[in-house]
Amino acid sequence: MALVAHSRDREAFVKLFRHFAPRLMSYMRKLGTDNNITEGLVQDVMLTLWRQAESYDPEKSYVSSWVFAIARNRRIDRYRRQRLVPVDQDYLQGQLHLQNQIDESPGQDQDIEHQEVESLLKEAIESLPADQASLLELAFYEDMTHKEIAEHTNLPLGTVKSRLRLAINKLRRILGPSI
């Protein structure tokens, strides 16, 4: 990151792009972002990384936290600009089936309920501070262990555990009895 920030090193940027682009694509898809929008958002995030690399402060956050915070903000900005509400397409499909009463089987009701919970959870995670949200994403969406997260972010293991615990407690307060 320092090479990109200080000397505009293209090779260093290519390495950052290769590292973060697939992770950002996965992150956006897991948030329910439309595939057509996802690619543009990822490119926008990487362009922002290139243009604003000098504003990154390693004392304040890790590169991954900074990049994922940019991604989250770009996604929110995109939907605000288009006056769209980010909605999981599977959730909409489930609601359509419910409304039309195509199939009243208990399995479908459980699927719809699961999708509603997933949508609420995504919104709650987006409301967390970026450092906590990024650790949750690594733990639950990337299936990384606490130890792997600590190594990936260069944070002490105890810090990872305490930030995850704080994030989970905040999610509980945000979601309340809705889940």
Domain that holds residue 41: 1-86
Count of structural domains, the chain: 3
Residues 155-173: what's their mean pLDDT? Answer: 89
How far, in Å, CA of 160 to CA of 154, rounded?
10
Helices (H), the chain: 2-7, 10-30, 35-51, 63-81, 89-100, 106-126, 130-136, 146-153, 157-175
Same domain? For 113 and 142 the reply is no
State residue 45's pLDDT score: 87
Same domain? For 74 and 143 the reply is no
Same domain? For 36 and 72 the reply is yes
CATH of the domain at 44: 1.10.1740.10
Summarised one tens digit per residue, pLDDT across range 68-121 is: 888 888 888 887 776 554 545 555 555 555 555 444 444 454 556 667 767 777
Residues 156-169: what's their mean pLDDT? Answer: 91
Same domain? For 3 and 79 the reply is yes
| Mean pLDDT over each residue of the chain, to the nearest integer | 77
Same domain? For 99 and 74 the reply is no
